[in-house]
Amino acid sequence: MNKQRLSFNNIGAVYVWLLIIIFFWWLEPGTFGSSDTLRVVLNDGAITGLVALSLVVPLAAGVFDLSIGGTIGVTSMVTAKLLADTSINPAAAIFAALFVALAIGLVNAIVVVICKIDPFIGTLATSSLLGALVLIVSDNKSVASPRLLGGFARISRMKIWGITAPVLYLFVVALVLWFLLEHTATGRRIYAIGFNRETARLSGVNVDRIRFYSLITSAFIAGIAGVVLTSRISVGSPTIGPPFLLPAFAAVFVGATQIRGGRFNVLGTLIAVYLIGTGNTGLSLSGQPLWAPQVFVGLILISAIGLTGLKRRSI
Amino acid sequence: MGSTAAVEVQCLTKTFPGTRALDNLSLSVERGEIHAIVGQNGSGKSTLIKILAGYHAPDPTGKVWVGGTEIVNDRAAKAHELGLRFVHQGLGLIDELDVVDNFGLISGFIRKRTRRLDWKRQVDHVSSQLSRFGIQVDVMRPVKELNAVQRTAVAITRALEGLGPGSGALVLDEPTVALTKLEVEQLFTIIHEVQRSGVSVLYVSHYLDEIFDIANRVTVLKGGKLVGTSKIESITHRDLVHLMVGRNVNPIIKSSKKDKGAPLLSVEHLTGAELKGIDFTVHSGEVVGIAGLQGSGIAECPYLLIGASTSKELSLTLDGRVMQKINPPLMARNGIHLVPGDRKSQGAISEFNVRENMTLGDLAPFRRHGHLCTKTEKELVEYWIGELDLVPPDPEHDYLTLSGGNQQKVIVAKWLAVNPKVLILDEPTNGVDVGAREKIYSVIRDQASRGLAFIICSSDAGELAELCDRILVLNDGKIISELIGEQVNEINIVDQLHAVNEQNTH
């Protein structure tokens, strides 16, 4: 049993991660092979990690949420605009933004569960609406303001031993989600629905209710990511959300091939996020061209799914 | 060694892991005859058809001849060429496409010299083929607009495409399941026309009365073996039933007087696509069987009862209280659960292990301050593993790699573990080996003696005879008889299942 746990099949990504570290260390011993790199990787990956984690619960329940990019954009804009144009304190602005995120999740949940629209299509539609909303609010202009610095910026820039606060937020969210999925009855039911909705239904699981809340959860965590991101760059940007979508999905899918063999899971997702993050950092430090990181992500995704033979469940 | 028959098989055996579906079967369909095949579920009828159609390869000892030519290896294509044609259950038509397209799918299209499809000739050809059988339809309309017998005619005509005159054999597999009595007569006219044109017919059906109307000879299969072949004039309905059930049936003595517990669940106006409104009551500690064959409504019955599909007029009274809404979670909360017939897609979750599957029915007992306690789960799971003798007895074992019988044990245990009041089982031992079957039966009997009520929906007469105190026989959507106590035996069940039904209207 122990042998299986350390096998390539189970934690192959960790081995690949080690290979990548060794490779770049050899390639760029000066820049890559320093203790700063570890911190950079950790810090850089935190927000992607949050976005990726937002997907784990809905995907485990078999629900695609394509609107998280839009949610990030909206919460970023809401936070920035509130701070720039009004005098409310940062905490209130954050609460407002998270409240909006919950509302977005509610809309998604209504569209998918109540109106019975396929989640893939439904959240694709809402993401388009959210994109429009961002444009309306921002007039396609970034929002900068001194109020986006100072206290608000500290949320993402506080450091302990060189590690920024977002890593801590990531850790806390990861812990909560891990507990939910692995150690609660709800988590068991979430996986049941994701694997076989009809069996879950016939087993007495409240399928609608769990799918409903899964979409609210993803929007909420995406909202947290949006707030933290706005704090980090101290700008409310209309284009900030969508670029996170692909890396987040890639990380969750690669993560599903690890640790829990076929189940979307927290630890696997984190490993995948940092595997990709390490690769990206290594690539940029060794001066590889701009397209290299995207090639890297694509290859990792293909090989992870291909090598572990993860069956593609029906969308 | 040649063959003069239209279709002949010799020493046909088919072994699957754990079971022998066909056992040294030899049979011949003479040229120009309509030869019926009857037998219970599991008798080998469908395996025989699948071997003839090339879906399965028989064990090496068997031989198949079509029109005097032996078929080896490349069975399906060769058999089709030699004139062995099929109309399978469900007809194999695509509803959204029109008649002409459905023809083209199998037989190809007529083309002009320029390789363009020659629609006019194709339409004329299809129309004329159909009018041979007295069927006048607009062949450019989608198949779904045709009625049942017209669709069957399309499937038959399509199957016979390209047959030379006076040759060929047509296999019809349960062709009358969806037909009204009137439509059955129309179909028989068509079949007689087919016979007149020189094509032999192999007719598989469970409606014994029809066999007497249409067939020249009949063969009875049981347990993969041929137990009798006869000219239709020389055999009776009762004889057929006896042959189907077999001579060595252990007469299970059922006491006619069994103390019935209190009435638990009353069902009124159970209607569905096939069910035409049935009523019955289940008492605590009672094992009630509902017997039916395909088309009787047996398939939809358990799902309507549990509320997985909606039955508009259904009224359920549980413990004297009328239930306002009927859906699976609500029924579950009231102690009524379903063990589905389709184990693979509805019974359990393949990606879960034994423990996770067994506890899915009710996770509440294992929750401790929000935390799901695996240790407590394991205790319960190990108890049921012992009760049902699961192999291997490991709670963490994958579900998917268990044998069919053990998979079914897990599912049954899942529902017994929640202390239900009524457990509905749909075809409970489909694909389950003998050992597991006996174990599940003994657990059912044991639980019944403790007050649990069972409703077993099945087409397996032997199983129902062994398990049930009382059996309701479904035929064409209605309960045509109730067998109690001493009446509960395999012969009576099979007899009733295959009985003539005067009402046969849709």
User: Structurally, what CATH architecture does the domain formed by B252-335+421-506 represent?
Assistant: 3-Layer(aba) Sandwich (3.40)
Half-sphere exposure of residue B302: CA atoms within 13 angstroms, side-chain side:
28
Chain B contacts in chain A segment 57-116 (CB below 8 A): none
Q: What are phi and psi of B429, to 5 degrees?
A: -120, 35
Q: Residue B286's CB: how many other CB atoms inside 10 A?
A: 23
Whole-angstrom distance, CA of residue B45 vs CA of residue B52: 11
Asked if A314 is an interface residue toward chain B (Cβ–Cβ < 8 A), one would say no
Beta-carbon separation of A195 and B362 below 8 A: no
Between B506 and B43, the more confident residue is: B43
Q: Which of A50-59, B47-56, B495-504 has the lowest average pLDDT?
A: B495-504
B180-189: per-residue pLDDT in tens? 888 899 999 9
Question: For B56, which DSSP code?
Answer: S
Confidence of residue A312 (pLDDT cuts 50, 70, 90): very low
* Strand ranges in A166-314 using DSSP code E only, listed in sequence order: 235-236
Provide, as residue numbers in chain A, all residues whose Cβ is less than 8 Å from the Cβ of B351. 191, 195-196, 262-263
Half-sphere exposure of residue B484: CA atoms within 13 angstroms, side-chain side:
7
R_g of chain B computed on alpha carbons: 25
Whole-angstrom distance, CA of residue A272 vs CA of residue A257: 10
By the 8 A CB rule, do B491 and B484 touch? Answer: no
Q: What six digits make up the tokens of B181?
A: 């009595």
A with B: how many residue pairs have Cβ under 8 Å apart?
68
Q: H helices of A29-89, where?
A: 35-60, 68-85
Which 3 state secondary structure label does DSSP give A208?
Answer: helix
Whole-angstrom distance, CA of residue B317 vs CA of residue B305: 12
Chain B contacts in chain A segment 254-293 (CB below 8 A): 262-263
Mean pLDDT in residue range B262-274: 88
Mean pLDDT rounded to a whole number for chain B: 86
Nearest CA to B360 out of A57, A206, A313 is that of A206
CATH of domain A2-308: 1.10.3470
B123-172: per-residue pLDDT in tens? 998 999 888 888 888 888 999 999 888 999 999 999 998 887 778 899 99
Percent of chain A whose predicted confidence (pLDDT) is above 90: 49
Question: For A114, which DSSP code?
Answer: I
Q: How many Å lie between the alpha carbon of B370 and the closest alpha carbon of chain A?
A: 6
B426-478: per-residue pLDDT in tens? 988 877 877 888 889 999 999 998 889 999 998 888 889 889 999 999 988 88
Q: What six digits make up the tokens of B336?
A: 């009524």
CB-closest option in B337, B352, B414 to A195: B352
Nearest CA to A299 out of A312, A271, A280 is that of A280
DSSP B201-262: EEEE-S-HHHHHHH-SEEEEEETTEEEEEEEGGG--HHHHHHHHH-S--------S------
Which 3 state secondary structure label does DSSP give B501?
Answer: coil
A149-170: per-residue pLDDT in tens? 877 888 888 888 878 899 999 9
Provide, as residue numbers in chain B, all residues whose Cβ is less than 8 Å from the Cβ of A189. 360, 363
Highest mean pLDDT among A107-111, A230-234, A307-311, B235-239: A107-111
Nearest CA to B433 out of B464, B394, B461, B407 is that of B407
Say which CATH superfamily domain B1-83+164-248 falls into.
P-loop containing nucleotide triphosphate hydrolases (3.40.50.300)
A239-276: per-residue pLDDT in tens? 888 888 988 999 999 898 887 778 899 999 999 999 98
Highest mean pLDDT among A304-308, B251-255, B289-293: B289-293
Residue spans per domain, chain B: 1-83+164-248, 96-162, 252-335+421-506, 346-419
Asked if A191 is an interface residue toward chain B (Cβ–Cβ < 8 A), one would say yes
For residue B287, what is the enclosing H or E element? strand B287-291
> Does the structure show a pLDDT above 90 at A49?
yes
pLDDT recorded at residue A9: 65
The answer to whether the bond into B392 is cis (omega within 30° of 0) is yes
Nearest chain B alpha carbon to A311: B351
Between B110 and A113, the more confident residue is: A113
**A257-261: which pairs have CB atoms within 8 A and are 24 or more residues apart?**
A257/A12, A257/A13, A257/A304, A257/A305, A257/A307, A257/A308, A257/A310, A258/A10, A258/A11, A258/A12, A258/A13, A258/A14, A258/A304, A258/A308, A259/A10, A259/A11, A261/A9, A261/A10, A261/A308
Report the largest interatomic distance among the alpha carbons of chain B, rounded to a whole angstrom: 80
